[in-house]
Structure 1
């Protein structure tokens, strides 16, 4: 029975860690800072648990005490469902440092149950150990079984649980599993505590289900995918008063939006700057877009270029499903969607395009560094036809520390493309303000015009950055691309 107990507790640890990333994501994103905080704090907590569990086991080991430890861990896991929102809201309003925020959130929410779970294995070893001559094999066997449980929990969470259940329900299931495991360790005692916890778990599960149904009736959908936490909700455009539907995947950011009265019209200002393709390559016939999300610009592109084809590479198939269900993405013979990483697609494709649009950097919380490097830019260059154009959205400032990522990206593109231009979407005169910036790279060395007969194009072209961009940042490579370090400086200004 002890083997089963350490297996189950080992699995719970890893499921808790992976679920923790989804709990933090709506408030802190999924950057390497968040993952470092989660992994580091949980490892430290397990170490404390190993130490204290072993110390406790040497005093007066019993099945009842082991059961109590597991029951305490069940209570602590269940408590996260009540604490997560008030704790994260409080930290965001009181702690200015992003890194400190991530560390404190992990300590408060996940350290206590991790310490309790860490106590289980050394305590189980002490209960199992009957003969010092076989102590080594006993320790090795139980810790191996615990590790196998952690491996199983990792795959179960990553491949199934997170993709199909919300984080609250996963926590409740984990607490329930620990409650049963506590009974396996010792069925006697703690009956009142177990009964109260069981009732709490059932009620919380019902409440979570009722809240989910109520939100759906209000047009709000909260979805856990394999890659992110996604929220779809109704809204109103403050400028025009038109009703919209929005998609959010990171804190303080709207990933996609759609006007309900015209699904192909563009709500978010930065997406309108992709229409500069009408100026730089008005005869485009084939295009690639890396990053689909709610498919805002792909719909506009297909409506604007009636005979053109568009390939969209979107790593998350659930984004495409949500776009079809909530953002009026229709089947179109001219549209092909590939569900894979943009870099792997560029590595293998032999297709040639007139234009390549990049919208995978639409979050400063988690920039996919593999799409920023020299090796990627070279593949983009080779995937373009002659006179091909790249339009890439970047969130950054131009000067100062918060502009380091942009300047590194400009240096990387300039090492491959003969012409690179910037169009700040917000204030074209703001040098240190963080904003969306459209990077335009031309494969042709022929200087373009920056005037157009179309007033809309002229509005976008008037945002051209005419000053030199400082050449003070290194070219990004697969070997060294400190994108997270650059973006952390942006996050600290928020």
Structure 2
């Protein structure tokens, strides 16, 4: 072969290697971020979930670099690494089909703890991470074999892989997740990987790739791979920057779900009614401080509380801080949230906002915690100090927590109570259920003022209040906790020490709320299962063809 033709061949090979390396780097990071949206509805967006994702990906790549280097030295064939990449792409397009089963298996093997997301992540991502780790050493071996410049080639290809990882990260975070469903993202990643591998494969794999695209694209408008089912009709769905948002209608109720958990509900016949019982307890703030005029809600959701307060208290002005702009848009479009001169909405992180603005409030209502996730920076001593600076002298804080006062589900509630007591020495506890050991919503009403109320006084106030929601509740002694809260065995929460994921772990072991009709759920799941089964069998058949072809035509050491 002449020098000119050899050079052209080398340049062609180099470009193919660059395509493969760039795509592999991009897919690794994009897959890590996309998979987080499968895991967080079950395990929460905790350090354990993200630590598992990062650790498994890095472990897999490290092992892949080691094994890939050994194989590349023994059998450096371009079609072999392309076949491996094709196989990884095929595995990735299957993830939405078996992710739920993997999570269920992980929960069965290891009842939910800080290690359960590690097991699920290992089963989902370890294999593709290892195989994608093959690409860099293989590409260096092939590139160096063509150009005889190991240092230059290795630096070039590693740089391209890193640029690919940066590209995949930004594309997934800023473009794909806000605009495309998770299973479509994962399908797209698999197809992109398969497409990049075709630069070194022949006609048969190309036909297999076309079959995979047809299988995935044709039924995709009806295909469902959600790990959590909702009762009712799905009327809106979006991947926001912070969570998976669903809006579901069932009967007269319309509900907003974030990562599979109901955060707000509205009676469409009476949009100002408080459908979820615990939201009635927000009015405790007006009972403690009837003269309140400036009110802040931390957490918007469907804006049930702010809308209700605006209707019942004509003299109040309300600010709402909601971190997710898509939640605000959903409230406007689906939950009758209208412009009001007495309502200001801030799309911001609550702690950052309160640190930067010096407005003071008569009442602050904290409603930003969820069953499987707590924003740790909104439960520390430093945050409560910031909160205290934003209160008027007679100001009151109403904090909605999830857990129990006594028993195994109580550490998080008791830790927050212990921490709040350092800033707000006056604190009352209002359980929403009859027993303090039950997993439930718990309201803590705090202030620096020496408010002295007993249940009967609050009952009389509620009878004469524009909001008489709590008359029945306060008629029962169990809705005002008068016992001593044991705090000696729970941590004081600070920015430096905040083991909130450990504290919330007992809560995530049990379902907090069951608002699904079992029969309808089973019917819906049966339809989804049937569709998944058909598509799954089609993919299995195509995979079997590919495995046979790969083993016979590519994966040989001759």
Could you tell me the TM-score, scaled by structure 1's length? 0.91
* SS of alignment partner, residue 389 of structure 1: strand
Q: Which residue of 2 aligns with 1:311?
A: 319
C-alpha contact (below 8 Å) 1:25/1:229 kept by paired residues: no
1: CA distance between counterparts of 2:80 and 2:211?
Answer: 19
C-alpha contact (below 8 Å) 1:393/1:436 kept by paired residues: yes
Q: Does 1:469 align with 2:478?
A: no
C-alpha contact (below 8 Å) 2:69/2:138 kept by paired residues: yes
C-alpha contact (below 8 Å) 2:48/2:115 kept by paired residues: no
C-alpha contact (below 8 Å) 2:234/2:246 kept by paired residues: no
Which stretch of structure 1 is more off in the superposition, 442-451 or 374-383? 442-451
C-alpha contact (below 8 Å) 1:70/1:116 kept by paired residues: yes
* SS of alignment partner, residue 294 of structure 1: coil
218 and 459 in structure 1: CA distance in 2 versus 1, 3 angstrom threshold: closer
2: CA distance between counterparts of 1:43 and 1:95?
Answer: 23
Q: Which residue of 2 aligns with 1:418?
A: 425
330 and 89 in structure 1: CA distance in 2 versus 1, 3 angstrom threshold: farther
Q: Which residue of 2 aligns with 1:396?
A: 403
Q: Which residue of 2 aligns with 1:339?
A: 347
Provide Cα deviations, 1:331-388, integer angstroms capped at 9, x if missing partner: 1111111111111011111101110000011x13110000001111011111011110
Question: Mapping of 1:56-455 within 5 angstroms?
Answer: 56-89=71-104, 91-92=106-107, 95-130=110-145, 134-187=149-202, 190-208=205-223, 218-236=233-251, 243-251=252-260, 253-361=261-369, 363-427=370-434, 429-430=435-436, 432-450=437-455, 451=457, 452-453=459-460, 454-455=462-463
How far did 1:94 drift? 6.5
Q: Which residue of 1 aligns with 2:534?
A: none
* SS of alignment partner, residue 354 of structure 1: strand
2: CA distance between counterparts of 1:268 and 1:77?
Answer: 39
1: CA distance between counterparts of 2:224 and 2:495?
Answer: 44
2: CA distance between counterparts of 1:448 and 1:138?
Answer: 76
Q: Does 1:492 align with 2:516?
A: no
Provide Cα deviations, 1:36-77, integer angstroms capped at 9, x if missing partner: 222222222222222222122112212211210111111011
How far did 1:442 drift? 1.4
Question: Mapping of 1:7-18 within 5 angstroms?
Answer: 7-18=22-33
Q: Does 1:481 align with 2:489?
A: no
C-alpha contact (below 8 Å) 2:44/2:373 kept by paired residues: yes
Question: Mapping of 1:3-42 within 5 angstroms?
Answer: 3-42=18-57
Q: 5+ residue gaps in structure 2?
A: 1-14, 512-558
Which stretch of structure 1 is more off in the superposition, 367-376 or 27-36? 27-36
Provide Cα deviations, 1:80-134, integer angstroms capped at 9, x if missing partner: 1222234435555665234454233222322222222221111111111139984
* SS of alignment partner, residue 255 of structure 1: strand
How far did 1:168 drift? 1.1
2: CA distance between counterparts of 1:311 and 1:349?
Answer: 12
480 and 209 in structure 1: CA distance in 2 versus 1, 3 angstrom threshold: closer
2: CA distance between counterparts of 1:398 and 1:222?
Answer: 35
How far did 1:305 drift? 1.1
2: CA distance between counterparts of 1:139 and 1:486?
Answer: 46
C-alpha contact (below 8 Å) 2:183/2:225 kept by paired residues: no
2: CA distance between counterparts of 1:158 and 1:131?
Answer: 37
How far did 1:219 drift? 4.2
2: CA distance between counterparts of 1:42 and 1:365?
Answer: 24
* SS of alignment partner, residue 221 of structure 1: strand
Quote the RMSD (CA, aligned, Å). 2.5
Q: 5+ residue gaps in structure 1?
A: 237-242
Aligned length: 481
* SS of alignment partner, residue 79 of structure 1: helix
Which stretch of structure 1 is more off in the superposition, 264-273 or 394-403? 394-403
C-alpha contact (below 8 Å) 1:424/1:465 kept by paired residues: yes
C-alpha contact (below 8 Å) 2:198/2:206 kept by paired residues: no
**Whose Rg is larger?**
2
1: CA distance between counterparts of 2:70 and 2:203?
Answer: 24
Provide Cα deviations, 1:462-492, integer angstroms capped at 9, x if missing partner: 4111011113133211111111111113223
20 and 308 in structure 1: CA distance in 2 versus 1, 3 angstrom threshold: same
How far did 1:418 drift? 2.6
1: CA distance between counterparts of 2:266 and 2:310?
Answer: 15
C-alpha contact (below 8 Å) 1:391/1:439 kept by paired residues: yes
C-alpha contact (below 8 Å) 1:397/1:403 kept by paired residues: yes
Provide Cα deviations, 1:300-350, integer angstroms capped at 9, x if missing partner: 111111121111000000001111111111111111111111110111111
C-alpha contact (below 8 Å) 2:272/2:304 kept by paired residues: yes
62, 86, 97: which is aligned to 1:47?
62
C-alpha contact (below 8 Å) 1:129/1:138 kept by paired residues: yes
2: CA distance between counterparts of 1:197 and 1:177?
Answer: 12
1: CA distance between counterparts of 2:215 and 2:396?
Answer: 58
